[in-house]
Structure formats: structure tokens, C-alpha cells
């Protein structure tokens, strides 16, 4: 009799679409326990008017409209099931479904979605000369209309001291957006904004004007970004892909590819990658995209059926993963405010609770939502294994003799590459 091997792993993202769709629907239903984690903590008295839940007239109107749409969409889905139960003629069901979806789309266009597909940050930023060789692109997530997208890219501009281009993933209401997420993940369905994001990213990578392209993804934008990266991996040469860096927040994707594209010649042993153990350890150290980081909140509803679910599968969710013990899904209010806290001058403070937290590494299987465990003031980090959990502080100058007092437990800020971009800064490579 075979012993139990633990929790059954998720289906491969290349499995039968119908099986994937069924598994995804079941996964979302099982994750409903953390549904409040989309909005909590509310912090209605937030002093930052760029926050999604700041009590401004625009935000209150947006939240009220989303609430009404969510209620109507839920009733609509239940009524469609009722039509089948009571054997309503198929033609009437079709007319009902088409009419509701059309009306929903019209309402969302009037209330949330501007005709502009690509926006730019509007806040005054003093860019440095070297920033002219960079382009930063952002794709938003679930429930984001024109107003919240503009606030997102403005907040990112303040945070990183650069102009941000926002590719609008228009909302159809939270319930329909989640359904669209499952369709995108299951059928690798590319919406028009996914194709826009791909075209912009590819053209920027191929342009000799730019030496670095930074792609920031939030929520459903992570699904679109994973599809964009799959296409880029197929079409672009390695030297062009090396210009790309990817950073995600509250990622809803079910995979994030980043293979090794370079193979060393015969007779030359490959370098050992210290970030990987086991039979795949002897490989070339650099991957196609050199820098990918994922940031997740433990009780974020989207993360529970997104990154925290699928990162448990080896080689399926590539990139370093930072898990913050907390909830909330909104980009500005729950991620950037906690991880890149701004001061009164709209500059990122040099210290915050998240970046000062201790960092340790865990096995992929420990990231399954049911098994996520964290101690107070500790963040889980994957894909990197520092020696014995300690590493020399980056503040130590080259050539200076190291002693035991210079060694301390790693903090998140020591491992986060994105942190080094705050206030217009740049990482020191090489």
C-alpha cells in the first residue's frame, strides 16, 4: 500500500483546457475564505490621495459602481444557472446573456474605461540623464478603470523617479474580470490590451534607443505579462531579452517562464547555479530574463489562487518571490504603501517595516496557500539560498576586510532589486 505523498500538485498549464478551467473554478471557490483580502485593510483615513480607497469623490463613485456591478453580475450568473435548471429555451437564454453582457460593457465604458488604451504618468518627475535609455511599462489588474490606472502610474512615477507608460487592461466589473482571468489562464487567451502590451514591449526592446525595459505587472496584468513573456521568448534573441526586467505585485498568473537559452559548447562544463539544487544544478547561471521578482501578500485573495498556488511547482514560477505577512490586493494602498512607503515630499522613505523584515528561503512546496507559515517580522523568499541564512551587508565597501560584526541576517532590502530603483536610483550591476 502506497504512503500518502501529500497535496496533489496543480495541473500543468499545458493540460486540457477543460480540465484546467474546472480546476481553476474549484480553486477560486476554495479561496473564497480570503475574499475580504482584496480590500482589507480599508484604512479609510489614508492621507495619500492616490490610494484606491482614499475617500475622494472619484474613488467613492468607483467603489459604489463596482459594488452594484458585482451584485448584478452575481445575480445574473445565478439566474443563468436557474434558466438551465427550469429548462428555459436556449434561444431565450442566448438573448438574455448577450443583452446583459452588452449592457454591462456599455456601463463599464461610460463609468470606468476611457477610450485611451495607453496612458502616461502626469506627475512632475526630475529624471536623470541615464533614464533616457530606459522605458518603464505597467499593465494593471482586476477592477481598474481609467482613474485608478492614472493613479497607479502616477504612484509608480513618484516611487521610482521615472515616467511610466500604462497599458490599460479595461475592467468589466470585478466578477466578470475574475472570469476573464480564468479564461486567459486556461485558454492562453490574449485580449486586445495583452496584444498592445506585447507590441509596445517588443518594439521598445528592439529599439536601439533603449538599454533597459522594465515591465511592472499587477494582478490580472501578471497573466497578460506571462503570455507576453512567452511570446518574447519565442521571437527575440537572447541579447535583446537581456534588456528586460519584470516585477509583479499580487500576480494572478498560473505560470511564469524564464528558461536557459544559452548552452555552453561541448567540452566546457557549465557553471553551477547556486540558486538551484538537485539534478538541474549544473547549468548556465544566467536565464533569458536576468531579473524577475514577485511581491505577494499572504492573504491577498488573488495571490492565494495565483502566485502562492503555482509557485509550489518547480520551474513553473521563475523569479524571486517575496511574501509579506498581510492582506490587501490594491496596488497603491496595499502593496506600494507598505513596501515603498512615501514621505510627505513624495519620496520613498529609506526604511519601512517590510524592507526591514528578515528574509529566509523556503522550499517551493511551502508556498502552497494552505501551508504558508511566517514568523513575526519575517518574509519568505524563494529562488535564492544565501549561505546559512546570512550574507555580508551590501554596505561593506569592496576591498575592506570583513569581520564577524559586518555579518547580519539578510533583510528584504538586501535582496530586492526593485528597492534599489527607488527615488530614481539604479542597481549596481557587475
pLDDT, one tens digit per residue, over 96-153 is 999 999 999 999 999 999 777 899 999 998 889 999 999 999 999 999 999 999 999 9
Tens digits of residue pLDDT in 71-98: 999 999 999 999 888 888 999 999 999 9
Say whether the peptide bond before residue 41 is cis (omega within 30 degrees of 0).
Answer: yes
The residue written with cell numbers 456591478 in the block is 69
Q: For residue 301, which of 38, 29, 26, 23 has the smallest C-alpha distance?
A: 38
Domain that includes residue 172, residue range: 22-260+283-385+409-424
In a domain, 430, yes or no: no
The residue written with cell numbers 541564512 in the block is 389
- The model's confidence at residue 387, banded by pLDDT at 50, 70 and 90, is very low
Q: Is the pLDDT of residue 368 over 50?
A: no
Query: What is the number of helices (H) and of strands (E) in the chain?
Result: 12, 11
Measured distance CA(284)–CA(300) in Å, rounded:
35
- The model's confidence at residue 270, banded by pLDDT at 50, 70 and 90, is very low
* pTM of the predicted model as reported, rounded to 2 decimal places: 0.86
Q: Is the pLDDT of residue 276 over 80?
A: no
392 beta partners: 407
The residue written with cell numbers 534588456 in the block is 243
Tens digits of residue pLDDT in 309-359: 988 787 888 899 999 988 999 999 999 999 999 999 999 999 999 999 988
In a domain, 15, yes or no: no
In a domain, 145, yes or no: yes
In a domain, 11, yes or no: no
Determine the 3-state secondary structure of 240 from DSSP.
helix
pLDDT of residue 272: 41
In a domain, 9, yes or no: no
- Total domain count, the chain: 1
Amino acid at each position: 500500500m502506497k504512503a500518502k505523498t501529500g497535496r496533489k500538485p496543480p495541473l500543468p498549464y499545458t493540460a486540457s483546457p477543460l480540465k484546467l478551467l474546472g480546476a481553476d473554478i474549484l480553486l477560486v471557490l476554495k479561496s473564497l475564505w480570503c475574499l475580504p483580502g482584496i480590500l482589507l485593510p480599508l484604512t479609510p483615513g489614508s492621507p495619500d490621495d492616490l490610494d484606491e480607497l482614499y475617500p475622494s469623490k472619484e474613488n467613492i463613485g468607483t467603489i459604489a459602481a463596482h459594488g452594484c456591478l458585482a451584485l448584478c453580475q452575481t445575480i445574473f450568473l445565478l439566474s443563468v444557472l436557474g434558466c438551465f435548471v427550469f429548462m428555459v429555451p436556449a434561444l431565450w437564454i442566448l438573448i438574455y446573456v448577450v443583452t446583459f453582457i452588452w449592457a454591462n460593457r456599455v456601463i463599464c465604458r461610460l463609468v470606468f474605461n476611457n477610450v485611451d488604451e495607453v496612458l502616461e504618468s502626469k506627475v512632475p518627475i526630475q529624471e536623470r540623464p541615464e533614464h533616457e535609455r530606459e522605458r518603464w511599462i505597467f499593465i494593471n489588474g482586476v477592477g481598474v478603470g481609467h482613474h485608478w490606472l492614472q493613479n497607479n502610474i502616477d504612484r509608480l512615477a513618484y516611487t521610482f523617479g521615472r515616467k511610466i507608460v500604462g497599458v490599460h487592461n479595461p475592467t468589466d466589473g470585478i466578477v466578470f474580470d475574475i472570469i476573464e482571468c480564468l479564461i486567459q489562464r486556461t485558454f492562453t487567451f490574449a485580449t486586445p490590451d495583452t496584444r498592445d502590451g506585447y507590441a509596445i514591449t517588443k518594439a521598445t526592446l528592439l529599439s536601439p534607443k533603449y538599454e533597459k525595459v522594465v515591465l511592472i505587472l499587477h494582478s490580472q496584468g501578471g497573466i497578460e505579462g506571462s503570455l507576453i513573456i512567452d511570446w518574447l521568448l519565442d521571437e527575440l534573441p537572447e541579447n535583446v531579452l537581456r534588456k528586460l526586467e519584470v516585477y509583479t505585485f499580487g500576480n494572478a498568473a498560473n505560470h511564469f517562464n524564464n528558461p536557459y537559452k544559452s548552452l555552453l559548447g561541448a567540452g566546457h562544463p557549465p557553471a553551477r547555479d547556486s540558486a538551484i539544487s538537485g539534478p538541474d544544478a549544473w547549468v548556465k547561471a544566467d536565464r533569458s530574463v536576468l531579473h524577475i521578482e514577485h511581491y505577494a501578500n499572504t492573504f491577498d485573495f488573488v495571490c492565494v489562487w495565483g502566485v502562492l498556488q503555482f509557485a509550489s511547482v518547480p520551474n513553473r514560477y521563475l523569479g524571486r518571490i517575496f511574501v509579506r505577512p498581510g492582506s490587501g490586493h490594491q496596488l497603491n494602498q496595499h502593496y506600494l504603501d507598505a513596501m515603498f512607503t512615501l514621505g510627505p515630499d513624495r519620496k520613498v522613505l529609506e526604511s519601512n517595516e517590510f524592507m526591514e523584515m528578515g528574509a529566509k528561503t523556503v522550499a517551493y512546496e511551502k508556498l502552497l496557500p494552505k501551508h504558508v507559515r511566517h514568523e513575526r517580522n519575517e518574509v519568505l523568499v524563494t529562488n535564492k539560498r544565501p549561505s546559512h541564512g546570512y550574507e555580508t551587508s551590501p554596505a561593506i565597501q569592496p576591498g575592506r576586510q570583513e569581520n564577524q560584526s559586518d555579518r547580519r541576517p539578510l533583510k528584504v532590502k538586501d535582496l530586492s532589486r526593485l528597492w534599489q530603483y527607488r527615488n530614481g536610483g539604479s542597481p549596481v550591476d557587475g
